[in-house]
Amino acid sequence: MPEGLNVYGLLALAGIIITAAMWGRFSRRGDARSHDLRLTLIYFIGLAGALIGAKIAFLLAEGWHYRHDWLALLSGRSITGGLLGGYAAVEIGKRWLKYPGTTGDAFAIVVPVGIALGRVGCLLQGCCPGVECKSAHWWTIADHAGVPRWPASLVELLFNLVFLAWAMLAARCNWTPGNRFHVYLIAYGVFRFAHEFARDDARIGGTIFTGYHVIALAIIVFGSWRFAQRAGSRIAHPLEQFQR
């Protein structure tokens, strides 16, 4: 749910800077092809696509709920749309730049880092709350009004940290090479669909479902489809050096 930027905005900016630095380091490993300027452009094209996708997803999933709140409409965005928008932008960018390699294994590490930092911002800012709980527990988080809520941002932060640990181990052990970001899409889609029931997002027509359930399903289907496609082919890419 949208809130003022402040701390969240600063941490989101820090996430962009840190992940850009990580991307630059990954892209400079190995042979001379890894210094290809196109990799830098692909990162920023993907970032732009993620920002656009995040805004579109929010407007589709919750824009109707905030139609009278212009601040919310301007500031609202969603990770779900960011993943799909960023993926689409990267693929378009690679075709435009005629870059033949794959980049998903590096994004499988970079993206969880950026999202985790954003969720730290959510925790400090108090945005993106979970559903209201009947009573306070050791695991609940009080909102600005002192109401105990499910720690939605913290749970998403932990999910991304766990996946980051898996992605780093997968890089070392050479698991699912060229397919790790698709694993992330599938895992996050499943996680987000289940976790959405505990988030305080606008429900559709009085049901228990939100627009993000639909987007999460799209992420699962798309990630599974691309995983199957990639599993049937093997494309060499400069960022494979990060696997070792």
3-state helix/strand/coil string of 49-78: HHHHHHHHHHHHHHCCCCCCCHHHHHHCCC
Residue 115, pLDDT score:
97
Mean local confidence (pLDDT), 197-221: 97
Say whether pLDDT at 241 is over 60: no
Say whether pLDDT at 235 is over 80: no
Residue 35, pLDDT score:
63
Say whether pLDDT at 243 is over 50: no
Q: What is the pLDDT of residues 16-57, one digit of tens each?
A: 999 999 999 888 765 444 468 999 999 999 999 999 999 999
Say whether pLDDT at 131 is over 70: yes
The label of the residue with tokens 């499910």 reads: 150
Q: What is the pLDDT of residues 139-153, one digit of tens each?
A: 999 999 999 999 999
Query: Is 157 within 8 Å of 120 (Cβ atoms)?
Result: yes
Q: Dihedrals φ, ψ of 29, to 5°?
A: -85, 150
Q: Give 205 or 236, the one with higher predicted confidence.
A: 205
Which residues touch 106 (CB under 8 Å, ≥6 apart)? 23, 26, 27, 239, 242
Q: How far apart are CA 135 and CA 148, in angstroms?
A: 6
Mean local confidence (pLDDT), 198-212: 96
Tell me what percent of the residues of the chain surpass a pLDDT of 70: 90
Band (pLDDT 50/70/90 cuts) for residue 239 is: low
Residue 236, pLDDT score:
46
Say whether pLDDT at 4 is over 70: no
177, with CB counted inside 10 A (0-12, 13-18, 19+), is: middle
The model carries a pTM of: 0.91
Q: What is the pLDDT of residues 72-107, one digit of tens each?
A: 888 899 999 999 999 999 999 999 999 998 999 999
Longest dimension (CA), the chain: 59
Q: Dihedrals φ, ψ of 36, to 5°?
A: -55, 125
Say whether pLDDT at 233 is over 80: no
Q: Which two tokens stand for residue 122?
A: 């959510």
Q: What is the pLDDT of residues 150-167, one digit of tens each?
A: 999 999 999 999 999 999
Mean local confidence (pLDDT), 126-135: 94
